[in-house]
Structure 1
Amino acid sequence: MKRIFLFLATNIAVLLVISIVTSLLGLNTSNGSMGGILISAAVVGFSGSIVSLLMSKSMAKASVGAEVITQPQNETEAWLLQTVENQAKQWDLKTPEVAVYHSPEPNAFATGATKNSSLIAVSTGLMNSMTRDEVEAVLAHEMAHIGNGDMVTLTLIQGVVNTFVIFLARVIAGLVSQNRNGENSQGTYFLVSMVLQVVFGFLASIIVMWFSRQREYRADAGAARLVGAPKMIAALQRLKGESSHLPQNMTAMGIASENKDSLLSTHPSLDNRIARLQMM
């Protein structure tokens, strides 16, 4: 379902690399104007987000070894393709790529740079442990993520957050690195800026995680409208007590929810998601 940890991991890595390169090349000046620093921060911040977005689908496939279904090899694969195609039509979208990956834990995720260039992948564990009605609800949840344009929205949010993280880090680093003569120590500026970007980036992730939890509720609601709330509730009930062992950088992409809500939770708890659906 989700793709935030994968997105964040790639985004932060790109962000730091670009920042280090611009600093070494002297493009990351410690005594520039506020406007210049803000423009530079926006370029670096949005570059990381856009690169992460463009790489999201290929990295997701590689991370779990997802095998895209081109020609169905059995009745189950044919049913998966047909179900996703029908749901895509209801959203008036191009049918996403459909993939299966081998894992005993029930899981699924959707990713992609645009609504019409996306991927939905399900684990063999999910297919083996859920009824078709429940799998249909999970697929509808993933389709709602695509239809809601969550990845593009996330890119914009992350780009804005990155911009202010870099801007504040550079402004504060510029003040800290000044000596009594008003001159800046480039070494001190560089080190302070890097440390502050990591610290501010962690704090800013609270905003991104809040968005992640809200979009889960919206995707659940979208699935309920597509296939009915009872099917979505049944699918979430089925997940209780199940574990998810996606690679760490993809934890937020899976269908499993947190045990409880917190500031750094990528998902609302299953109980809260079920309760929200029961109110519909």
Structure 2
Amino acid sequence: MYQINALNPKDEGHQARKRFGQNFLHDQRVIEKIVRSVNPRAGENIVEIGPGLAALTAPLISECDALTVVELDRDLAAGLPRRVPHPERLTIIEADALKYDFTQLFQVDKPLRIVGNLPYNISTPLLFHLLTFDGQVKDMHFMLQKEVVDRITAQPNTKEYGRLSVMIQYYSQVTFLFEVPAGAFNPPPKVTSAVFRLEPHANKPIVAQDEKALARLVAHVFTQRRKTLRNSLKGMLPEGGFERAGVDPMARPETLSLGQFVALADQMVA
């Protein structure tokens, strides 16, 4: 059984930095639950984003023979080797995950498994950045603000359903795992968090002719979600586009399935 090092940032002399969106996980039960969900194994290509004070890093590295971490804060990166039980297994990359080229970590027959307690202020662009590496990523386990996770995992005909739901579900299978209370962090955020899993599709069940067109269409209609599709897409579709896509022009965007969004986007480039 691994030993969980749920460290207190005050004991380490490190003050959480707002500009990095730092909230340090310290609840051992939550840490153990996350590690069980990830289920790391020797021989896997595991990457942790934002290891912080090694609350997750330590138990993860105890279960695998190698772990790569990407940390932007130089002070935290420098202290990581003394906070983990097997520092020889640790590879530290000092970089901004938003800008880092994860292709540098690809290994033949070892798809990436990515883990992280993501800074809430960069979560959405980081998720889209990581999803550009589809085909090389086996799965991702992240903790985010629950409100955001609810939007990622939302289904049609709910108030949470929107751009994040459609685009992330286009690229991956999403699974809501469990909630995490604010008290599990130091300092505690003002929101409840949640852990979820993304499994990028090896072969997308629905494929758009032009994924950039799909992204433009989805972003556009959800900025005008109270309008009917006929009104919000005026001038963007060819004559008869709604009929060929099999979509009611009087519908509103939150009622459409992923397949219907793809069908509409395909009409834009037909």
Please indicate the TM-score interval, normalised by the length of the shorter structure.
under 0.3
Higher RCO (C-alpha 8 Å, min separation 6) = 1
Q: Which has the higher strand share?
A: 2
Greater share of helix residues, 1 or 2? 1
Please give the TM-score of this superposition, normalised by the length of structure 2. 0.21
Normalising to structure 1: TM-score of the pair?
0.20
